Structure 1
Amino acid sequence: MPASITLSQISWATPDGRPLFSDLDLSFGRDRSGLVGRNGVGKTTLLKLISGQIRPQSGTVAVSGSVGVLRQSVQVAADETIADLFGVAAALELLRRAEAGAATADELASADWALEPRIATALNRTGLDAEPQTLLAALSGGQRTRAALAALIFSEPDFLLLDEPTNNLDREGREAVITLISGWRAGAVIVSHDRELLESVDQIVELTSLGATRYGGNWSHYRERKALELAAARHDLADAEKRTAEIARKAQANVERQAHRDSAGRKMAAKGGIPRIMLGGMKERSETTGGDNARLAERRRAQALEETKAAREKIEILQPLSVSLPPTGLPASKIVLKIDGVTAGYRPDEPVIRDLSFDVTGPERIAITGPNGSGKTTLLALITGELKAWAGTVAVMTGFAMLDQKVGLLDPSASIRDNFRRINPQADENTCRAALARFMFRADAALQTVSTLSGGQLLRAGLACTLGAAPPPLLILDEPTNHLDIDSISAVEAGLGAYDGTLMVVSHDETFLENIGITRRLELPGGDTGG
């Protein structure tokens, strides 16, 4: 029987009663499926339902074939090794005893002499250079993700279930995962916001509050389809607005005709010659006709307005965010930052950065790249003053703002609006509201408490508060796209695209870097190349 996953009439709600799925029908065959959708829509929950970690509140999940699951985080015990992760520690110990001549005849008969080459092959496919006895606790987060992915490959499942497999990986690690998925010939369901990875899948399944929609082809084909949907939605809106205007015109014409008839009737009555009983009947018919026409016109108008509203809402869902920002006034010739002969680190005699020098002039857009452990976050700490250099100098020549993954400049207990007013004390209420609206925080949305925001909303709020009124000439971002959904990443890209100051970004997301118009790369060498 061919391997397959079938979800039938699935319903599931969060513990606080928020419904995620209602009568959801979805199936997967032996193809590579990218699962996309906004944060909180239920992508990870769907993987848990497929893997059997949770049960649906109604409906059925049928899986034909074996399933291997990669979760977003890999928790490890202090003594756990790669061999434990692969489930082969006992088998490897048997091989050691056999090599030492200490195995029994029965043990020798059951020994898997091809085991070690198979382990090495799986590790190599994820680009991880490590031995089976390596402690997982000694690996970086990115290396542990690769080890877990290698363990899945080793088990040869019919389906891979991957939850954000490229999060926390450096460029080398991301390329290894993308290469693996590109060559994977069994089934896979991949939750990811990594558009480069999604280019290697066979289909995109978009999950929304209304259900699931399947789009054949990779990410580029999906975007083309969405662009067509947006064009169709704009056409529907134009038609709906035209009908609304036409109904309003006809209703006004009917009112004017009825008024003209009523006026003519009053003039005839004034001249006399029409019996009183006929005048009464004419008046009653006129009032009835006028009332019927008014009710019919109102029903048509309400229906047209509802169609217009629905068409406009669909456009707001499909249309990418477009942002306009005040200029920073940064001259192209101004030196923004000078790093001269800097050496720094956290432990004595273990420098993370050695003798680093560079200048930043004018509105450059710089990507700080390098393998995990090469000192990217350390460099940002030096620039922002959180860390002092052991040797050399760091000189920031202009105002700046720093946005990390947690957007630490925002007070989580305050509203977005109150954070904006605190960060921009010179801005009045109108400026505040206009700036927040540009980043889709309109009306009551601006009053949301920061601690209640999703990851994408949080970063968008940070950008709104930082760039909305008087943008600083230097903006520093540390892995801004981690844990964001694709719609949120697009919103961030739109905001940064409208920014005319200097941008320094740490990111392994090549699509993101390309979309924000990086003009220069600062490659930091060395460090832990495995993560």
Structure 2
Amino acid sequence: MPASITLSQISWAAPDGRSLFSNLDLSFGADRTGLVGRNGIGKTTLLKLVSGEIQPHSGTISVSGSLGILTQSVQVAPEETIADLFGVAGALAVLRRAEAGEATAEELATADWVLEARIAAALNRTGLDAPPETPLATLSGGQRTRAGLAALVFREPDFLLLDEPTNNLDREGREAVIALISGWRAGAIIVSHDRELLESVDAIVELTSLGATRYGGSWSHYRERKVLELAAAQHDRTEAEKRVAEVARKAQSTMERQAHRDSTGRKMAAKGGIPRIMLGGMKERSETTGGDNARLAERRQTQALEEAKAACEKIEILQPLSVTLPPTGLPASKIVLKMDGVTSGYLPDEPVIRNLSFDITGPERIAVTGRNGSGKTTLLSLVAGEMKPWTGTVGVMTAFSMLDQKVSLLDPLASIRDNFRRINPQADENTCRAALARFMFRADAALQVVSTLSGGQLLRAGLACVLGSAPPPLLILDEPTNHLDIDSISAVEAGLRAYDGALLVVSHDKTFLESIGITRRLELSAADPAG
């Protein structure tokens, strides 16, 4: 029987009562499907439903075939090794005893002599070179993700369920995962905002508040279809609004004609030219006609308003975020940042940054790249003054804002609105609300307490507070797209393209860097090549 996953009439609501799925029908075959949608729409929840981690409130889920599941973070115990992650620690111990001449005859008969080669081959597919006894705790988060994915590949499941597999990976790791997915010939459901990865899938399933829609083809084909859908939705809204106006105009015209006829009848009656019995009939017909006209007008108006509302709701779902920024006025010749012969780190005699010199002049756009562990975040901390150089100098000659991965500039106990007013004290309430609305924090959404936000919402709120009112001449960003959905990434890209200040950004997202017009790259070399 071919491998398949079928969801029939699935309904599920969050603990707070918010409905994520209602009578959802969806199926997956033995192909690679990218699962996309805005943050909080239910992508991770859908994977949990398919894997059986949570149960639907109603409906059925049928899975034919085996599943290999990779969550957003691989949790490890201090003593756990790569072999434990692969589930082969016992079999590997037998090989070690055999090598030492200590294995029993029964163990020798059942030993898997090619086990290490198979482990190495699986690790190699994710670009990781490490012995199976390596403790997982000694690996970086990105390396653990790659090890977890290699363990799935090792088991050869019928379906891979992957939740943001390229998050927190360096460029080399991303390329290895993309190559693996490109060559995967079984089923896969991949939650991702990595557009480069999504170019390697066979289909895209988009989750919206209206349900799920499947698009055949890769990311580029999906985007082409979405552009056409948006144009069609905007046309439908325009036509619906025209119908509402036309119905109102016709209703008003009908009322005026009826009022004119009634007025004419009353004048004739006043002159005494119409028998009493005819006057009674005319009045009754007038009242009947007026009532019929009113009911007909009300039905037409209700239908037109419903059509207009449906068209507007579709636009809200399809319309991407829009970001515009005020100018910074940064002169092209101004030296913004100068770093000269800087060496620094966290432990004595173990520098992360060694003898680094570079500068930024005017509105340059610098991408800091390199493997995990090469010092990219350390460099940003030095620029921001959070760390001091051991040797050399760091000079920042203009105002700046830094948005780190934890969005620590936001007070977690305050609302988004209050954070904005604190960070932008010159902005009035209208400016504040308009800026937050551009990042989809409208009305009461702007009053949400920061500690209650999801990862994607948190970063979006941070970007709104930094970019929304008076952007500084220098903007420092550390992996700004890591937890954003694709619509939000597109909005940030549009805003940064309009930004006229200097930009220093750490990102492994090749598509993002190309989109924001990076002018120069600063490649850092890792102190530890395995990083």
What range is the shorter-chain TM-score in? over 0.9
Question: Structure 2 vs 1, CA of residues 15 and 243 (structure 1 numbering), >3 Å: closer, same or farther?
Answer: closer
Contact 1:371–1:528 under 8 Å retained in 2:
no
The reply to whether residue 63 of structure 1 matches residue 63 of structure 2 is yes
Secondary structure of 1:482's counterpart equals coil
Task: Please state whether the residue corresponding to 1:205 is helix, strand or coil.
Answer: strand
The corresponding residue for 1:395 is 395
Who is 2:175 aligned against?
175
Structure 1 6/273 Cα, relative in aligned 2: closer, same or farther at 3 Å? closer
| Aligned positions of 1:350-365 closer than 5 A | 350-365=350-365
Contact conserved, 2:321 with 2:488, CA < 8 A, in 1?
no
Q: Could you tell me which residue of structure 2 aligns to residue 139 of structure 1? A: 139
With over 3 angstroms needed to count, the CA separation of the structure-2 counterparts of 1:9 and 1:256, relative to structure 1, is: closer
CA distance in 2, matches of 1:46, 1:469: 37
Q: CA deviation at 1:120?
A: 1.2
Give the aligned residue type for 1:166: T
Superposed, 1:496-515 pairs within 5 Å as: 496-515=496-515
Counterpart contact for 2:373–2:528, Cα < 8 Å: yes
Q: Identify if the C-alpha distance between structure 1 residues 56 and 302 changes in structure 2 by more than 3 Å, giving closer, same or farther.
A: closer
Q: Is the 8 A contact 1:404 1:479 kept in 2?
A: yes
Q: Which stretch of the first structure deviates more once superposed, 57-66 or 228-237?
A: 57-66
Task: For 2:299 and 2:309, locate their aligned partners in 1 and report how far apart those are by CA, in whole Å.
Answer: 15
Unaligned stretches of 5+ in structure 2?
A: none
> Which residue of structure 2 lines up, in the alignment, with residue 106 of structure 1?
106
Asked if the contact 1:478/1:505 (under 8 Å) is kept, the reply is yes
* AA aligned opposite 2:124: N
Residue 284 of structure 1 and its aligned partner are, at CA, apart by 4.2
Aligned in 2, Cα 1:484/1:114: closer, same or farther, shift over 3 Å? Answer: same
Change (3 A) 1:344 1:20: same
1:326 and 2:329 correspond? no
How high is the sequence identity, in percent, across the aligned residues? 84
Q: What CA distance in whole angstroms lies between the structure 1 residues aligned with 2:225 and 2:95?
A: 54
Letter in 1 for 2:366: I
Structure-1 residue corresponding to 2:27: 27
- Aligned partners of 1:378 and 1:435: how far apart in 2? 31
- Partner Cα separation in structure 1 for residue 171 and residue 259 of structure 2: 75
- The Cα of 1:70 is off from its aligned counterpart by 1.2
Moved more, 192-201 or 445-454: 445-454
1:25 to 1:435, Cα distance in 2 relative to 1, 3 A:
closer
Instruction: Give, in whole Å, the separation in 1 of the partners of 2:274 and 2:56.
Output: 77
Give the match for residue 238 of structure 1: 238
Match in the other structure for 1:443 = 443
Deviation at 1:285, TM superposition (A): 3.2
Q: Distance in 2 between matches of 1:146 and 1:76?
A: 14
The verdict on how the C-alpha distance between 1:241 and 1:221 changes in structure 2, with shifts beyond 3 A counting, is same
CA distance in 1, matches of 2:348, 2:56: 54
Amino acid at match of 1:330: L
Q: Show the 5 A alignment for 1:265-276.
A: 265-276=265-276
2:302 matched residue in structure 1: 302
Alpha carbons 2:335, 2:359 under 8 Å: kept = yes
* Residues 246 and 396 (structure 1), Cα distance of their counterparts in 2 relative to 1, 3 Å cut: same
Is contact 1:142–1:530 with CA below 8 Å preserved after alignment? no
Match of 1:345 in 2: 345
Write the letter of the residue equivalent to 1:506. Answer: V
- Alignment root-mean-square deviation, CA: 1.9
Give the total of aligned pairs: 531
Aligned to 1:520: 520
Contact in 2 for aligned 1:70/1:163 (Cα 8 Å): yes
Name the stretch that deviates more: 267-276 or 43-52.
Answer: 267-276
**Are the structure 2 counterparts of residues 254 and 13 from structure 1 closer, same or farther at C-alpha, using a change threshold of 3 Å?**
closer
Shift of 1:127: 0.6
Return closer, same or farther for 1:419/1:479 CA change in 2, 3 Å cut-off.
Answer: same
The within-5 A match list for 1:17-416 is 17-416=17-416
Cα distance per residue 1:51-101 (max 9 Å; x no partner): 232333333322222211112111112222111211222222222222333
Q: Secondary structure at the match of 1:62?
A: strand
Conservation of the 8 A alpha-carbon contact between 1:460 and 1:491: no
Q: 1:321 to 1:290 in 2, by over 3 A?
A: same
CA contact (8 A) 2:459 2:483 kept: no
What TM-score comes out, normalization by structure 1 length?
Answer: 0.95
* Alpha-carbon distance, 1:139 to partner: 0.8
Deviations 1:196-247 (A, max 9, x none): 1111111111223333221111111111111111111012112112212221
Distance, in Å, in 2 between the alignment partners of 1:354 and 1:305 is: 66
- The answer for unaligned runs of 5 or more in structure 1 is none
TM-aligned CA deviation for residue 169 of structure 1: 0.6
Output the CA distance in 2 between the equivalents of 1:70 and 1:356: 38
Q: Provide the residue aligned with 2:421 in structure 1.
A: 421
Equivalent-residue separation in structure 1 for 2:398 and 2:299 (angstroms): 60
Matched, 1:3 2:3: yes
TM value normalised by structure 2: 0.95
Residue-by-residue CA offset, 1:457-476 (whole Å, 9 max, x unaligned): 32232222222222111111
In structure 2, the CA distance between the partners of 1:469 and 1:39, relative to structure 1 (3 Å rule), is closer
